[in-house]
Protein backbone atom coordinates (compact mmCIF):
# COMPACT_ATOMS: atom_id res chain seq x y z
CA UNK A 1 0.00 0.00 0.00
CA UNK A 2 2.79 2.40 0.83
CA UNK A 3 4.20 2.32 -2.64
CA UNK A 4 1.16 1.45 -4.71
CA UNK A 5 0.16 4.48 -6.73
CA UNK A 6 -2.74 3.14 -8.78
CA UNK A 7 -6.16 4.78 -8.98
CA UNK A 8 -7.64 2.59 -6.24
CA UNK A 9 -5.04 3.68 -3.74
CA UNK A 10 -5.29 7.31 -4.71
CA UNK A 11 -9.06 7.16 -4.39
CA UNK A 12 -8.80 5.37 -1.07
CA UNK A 13 -6.34 7.88 0.28
CA UNK A 14 -8.50 10.75 -0.89
CA UNK A 15 -11.46 9.08 0.77
CA UNK A 16 -9.60 8.70 4.01
CA UNK A 17 -8.27 12.23 3.91
CA UNK A 18 -4.63 11.19 3.64
CA UNK A 19 -2.34 13.52 1.75
CA UNK A 20 -1.40 12.35 -1.72
CA UNK A 21 2.22 11.58 -2.35
CA UNK A 22 3.38 12.30 -5.83
CA UNK A 23 5.85 9.77 -7.27
CA UNK A 24 9.22 11.37 -7.76
CA UNK A 25 10.41 11.86 -11.34
CA UNK A 26 12.61 9.08 -12.58
CA UNK A 27 11.09 6.63 -10.13
CA UNK A 28 8.13 5.54 -12.22
CA UNK A 29 9.85 2.54 -13.68
CA UNK A 30 13.17 0.87 -14.05
CA UNK A 31 13.80 1.50 -17.70
CA UNK A 32 16.34 4.04 -18.76
CA UNK A 33 15.45 7.47 -20.04
CA UNK A 34 17.25 7.19 -23.38
CA UNK A 35 14.81 6.99 -26.28
CA UNK A 36 15.79 4.67 -29.09
CA UNK A 37 12.78 5.04 -31.29
CA UNK A 38 9.50 6.88 -31.52
CA UNK A 39 6.00 5.76 -32.42
CA UNK A 40 2.76 7.57 -33.03
CA UNK A 41 0.04 6.59 -30.56
CA UNK A 42 -3.26 8.42 -30.39
CA UNK A 43 -1.86 11.24 -32.52
CA UNK A 44 1.10 11.74 -30.19
CA UNK A 45 4.69 11.00 -31.09
CA UNK A 46 6.17 9.10 -28.16
CA UNK A 47 9.69 7.92 -27.43
CA UNK A 48 10.27 4.35 -26.34
CA UNK A 49 13.43 2.44 -25.56
CA UNK A 50 12.16 -1.05 -26.33
CA UNK A 51 13.81 -3.59 -28.60
CA UNK A 52 12.39 -3.52 -32.10
CA UNK A 53 11.01 -7.03 -31.75
CA UNK A 54 9.02 -6.19 -28.59
CA UNK A 55 5.33 -6.68 -29.32
CA UNK A 56 3.40 -3.42 -29.50
CA UNK A 57 1.20 -4.61 -26.60
CA UNK A 58 4.11 -4.47 -24.17
CA UNK A 59 5.38 -1.19 -25.54
CA UNK A 60 1.95 0.27 -24.84
CA UNK A 61 1.46 -1.33 -21.44
CA UNK A 62 4.93 -1.44 -19.88
CA UNK A 63 6.77 1.36 -21.60
CA UNK A 64 3.99 3.88 -22.16
CA UNK A 65 1.73 2.90 -19.22
CA UNK A 66 -1.31 2.69 -21.48
CA UNK A 67 -2.95 -0.23 -19.75
CA UNK A 68 -6.34 -0.06 -21.43
CA UNK A 69 -5.07 -2.56 -24.02
CA UNK A 70 -5.13 -5.97 -22.39
CA UNK A 71 -2.92 -9.04 -22.40
CA UNK A 72 -4.99 -12.16 -22.88
CA UNK A 73 -3.30 -15.04 -24.69
CA UNK A 74 -0.23 -13.45 -26.24
CA UNK A 75 -0.85 -15.50 -29.39
CA UNK A 76 -3.44 -13.46 -31.33
CA UNK A 77 -6.16 -15.92 -30.37
CA UNK A 78 -8.40 -13.90 -28.06
CA UNK A 79 -8.49 -10.30 -29.31
CA UNK A 80 -8.09 -8.61 -25.91
CA UNK A 81 -5.05 -6.68 -27.23
CA UNK A 82 -6.76 -5.27 -30.33
CA UNK A 83 -5.66 -1.79 -31.42
CA UNK A 84 -5.90 0.13 -34.69
CA UNK A 85 -2.85 0.44 -36.92
CA UNK A 86 -3.55 2.93 -39.69
CA UNK A 87 -7.23 2.34 -38.99
CA UNK A 88 -7.16 -1.45 -39.23
CA UNK A 89 -7.82 -3.70 -36.22
CA UNK A 90 -4.62 -5.55 -35.29
CA UNK A 91 -3.59 -7.88 -32.47
CA UNK A 92 -0.88 -5.92 -30.69
CA UNK A 93 0.43 -8.93 -28.76
CA UNK A 94 2.07 -10.40 -31.88
CA UNK A 95 2.86 -7.17 -33.68
CA UNK A 96 6.55 -6.27 -33.30
CA UNK A 97 7.41 -2.65 -32.68
CA UNK A 98 9.44 -2.52 -35.89
CA UNK A 99 6.32 -3.14 -37.95
CA UNK A 100 4.45 -0.13 -36.61
CA UNK A 101 7.19 2.47 -36.99
CA UNK A 102 5.86 5.38 -39.02
CA UNK A 103 2.30 4.14 -38.68
CA UNK A 104 -0.57 5.65 -36.77
CA UNK A 105 -1.64 3.60 -33.76
CA UNK A 106 -4.94 4.12 -31.96
CA UNK A 107 -5.68 2.48 -28.61
CA UNK A 108 -8.83 2.42 -26.50
CA UNK A 109 -7.48 5.50 -24.70
CA UNK A 110 -7.43 7.37 -28.00
CA UNK A 111 -10.72 6.24 -29.49
CA UNK A 112 -12.26 9.36 -27.97
CA UNK A 113 -11.36 11.71 -25.16
CA UNK A 114 -14.68 11.43 -23.39
CA UNK A 115 -16.34 8.12 -24.33
CA UNK A 116 -18.07 9.97 -27.15
CA UNK A 117 -17.21 7.53 -29.95
CA UNK A 118 -20.42 5.97 -31.25
CA UNK A 119 -19.27 2.50 -30.23
CA UNK A 120 -18.53 3.64 -26.67
CA UNK A 121 -21.88 5.42 -26.46
CA UNK A 122 -23.70 2.33 -27.66
CA UNK A 123 -21.67 0.15 -25.28
CA UNK A 124 -22.82 2.27 -22.34
CA UNK A 125 -26.39 2.47 -23.56
CA UNK A 126 -26.64 -1.31 -23.83
CA UNK A 127 -24.39 -1.68 -20.74
CA UNK A 128 -22.31 -4.33 -22.48
CA UNK A 129 -19.39 -5.08 -20.13
CA UNK A 130 -19.44 -7.62 -17.38
CA UNK A 131 -15.95 -8.18 -16.00
CA UNK A 132 -14.73 -5.85 -18.74
CA UNK A 133 -11.34 -7.39 -19.42
CA UNK A 134 -11.97 -8.12 -23.11
CA UNK A 135 -14.02 -5.01 -23.79
CA UNK A 136 -11.23 -2.69 -24.96
CA UNK A 137 -10.46 -5.22 -27.67
CA UNK A 138 -14.14 -5.76 -28.47
CA UNK A 139 -14.69 -2.02 -28.82
CA UNK A 140 -11.64 -1.54 -31.05
CA UNK A 141 -12.71 -4.41 -33.31
CA UNK A 142 -16.26 -3.08 -33.46
CA UNK A 143 -15.05 0.44 -34.32
CA UNK A 144 -12.90 -0.94 -37.14
CA UNK A 145 -15.77 -3.05 -38.42
CA UNK A 146 -18.15 -0.09 -38.59
CA UNK A 147 -15.58 1.96 -40.44
CA UNK A 148 -15.40 -0.59 -43.23
CA UNK A 149 -19.03 -1.70 -43.02
CA UNK A 150 -21.38 0.96 -41.61
CA UNK A 151 -24.40 -1.36 -41.52
CA UNK A 152 -23.25 -4.89 -40.74
CA UNK A 153 -25.74 -7.74 -40.53
CA UNK A 154 -25.75 -10.16 -37.60
CA UNK A 155 -23.75 -12.62 -39.67
CA UNK A 156 -21.22 -9.95 -40.66
CA UNK A 157 -20.87 -8.89 -37.03
CA UNK A 158 -20.33 -12.48 -35.91
CA UNK A 159 -17.73 -13.00 -38.65
CA UNK A 160 -15.85 -9.79 -37.90
CA UNK A 161 -15.97 -10.24 -34.13
CA UNK A 162 -15.25 -13.97 -33.99
CA UNK A 163 -11.62 -13.32 -33.03
CA UNK A 164 -12.62 -11.43 -29.89
CA UNK A 165 -13.43 -13.82 -27.09
CA UNK A 166 -15.52 -12.94 -24.05
CA UNK A 167 -15.41 -15.38 -21.19
CA UNK A 168 -18.40 -13.69 -19.55
CA UNK A 169 -20.39 -14.32 -22.71
CA UNK A 170 -21.50 -10.77 -23.48
CA UNK A 171 -21.80 -11.63 -27.19
CA UNK A 172 -25.56 -10.92 -27.52
CA UNK A 173 -25.11 -7.46 -26.03
CA UNK A 174 -22.04 -6.81 -28.17
CA UNK A 175 -24.02 -7.56 -31.29
CA UNK A 176 -26.88 -5.36 -30.11
CA UNK A 177 -24.50 -2.52 -29.30
CA UNK A 178 -22.83 -2.72 -32.71
CA UNK A 179 -26.23 -2.34 -34.37
CA UNK A 180 -26.92 0.61 -32.08
CA UNK A 181 -23.55 2.19 -32.85
CA UNK A 182 -24.33 1.84 -36.57
CA UNK A 183 -27.54 3.78 -35.95
CA UNK A 184 -25.71 6.48 -34.03
CA UNK A 185 -23.12 6.81 -36.79
CA UNK A 186 -25.85 7.09 -39.41
CA UNK A 187 -27.07 10.22 -37.64
CA UNK A 188 -30.43 11.21 -36.19
CA UNK A 189 -33.38 9.09 -37.23
CA UNK A 190 -35.22 10.48 -40.22
Partner 1 sequence: MTELADRGRRDFISAGVAAGGGLLLGLTLSGSGKRASAADGAKSARTASQLNAWLKISADNSITIIVDRSEMGQGVYTALPMLIAEELNVNLDAIQVVAAPVGDAYVNPGNGGQVTGTSNSVQDAWEKLRAAGAQARMMLTQAAAKHWHIDIGECRAINGTIAARGKVLTYGQLAAAAAKEPIPKDVKLRPRSEFQIIGKSRARIDSPGKVDGSAEFGLDVKLPGMLYAAIAQSPVLGGKVKTLDSLAAGKMPGVRRILSTDSGVVVVADHFWQALQARKTLEISWDPGVNLPLDNELISAMLKKTAAAGAGLTARADGDGTGARVREAALQFQLRAAAAGARDHGAHELHRRRQGERLRPLRRHPGSAGGANNGCRGGGS
Nearest in space to 121 (alpha carbons), one of 183, 41, 166, 188? 183
Q: Which is nearer to partner 1, 104 or 133 (CB)?
A: 133
Which chain residues interact with partner 1 by CB under 8 A?
1-9, 11-13, 15-18, 23-24, 27-31, 50-51, 54-55, 58, 61-63, 65-71, 74, 107-109, 111-112, 115, 120, 123-124, 127-133, 135-136, 139, 168-173
Residue 120 vs residues 34, 39, 126: alpha-carbon distances, Å: 36, 25, 10
Q: Which is nearer to partner 1, 33 or 190 (CB)?
A: 33
Q: Which is nearer to partner 1, 65 or 190 (CB)?
A: 65
Give CA–CA dist 11/14, Å, rounded: 5
Nearest in space to 84 (alpha carbons), one of 4, 143, 29? 143
Beta carbon of residue 141, minimum distance to partner 1 (angstroms, whole number): 14
Beta carbon of residue 185, minimum distance to partner 1 (angstroms, whole number): 16
Is residue 71 within 8 Å of 80, Cβ to Cβ?
yes
Amino acid sequence: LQSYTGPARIAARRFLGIAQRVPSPGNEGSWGPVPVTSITVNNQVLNVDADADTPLLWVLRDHLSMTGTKYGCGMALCGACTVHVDGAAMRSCVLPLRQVLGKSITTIEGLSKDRSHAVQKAWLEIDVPQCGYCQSGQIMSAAALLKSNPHPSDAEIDAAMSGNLCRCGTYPRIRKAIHRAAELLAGPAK
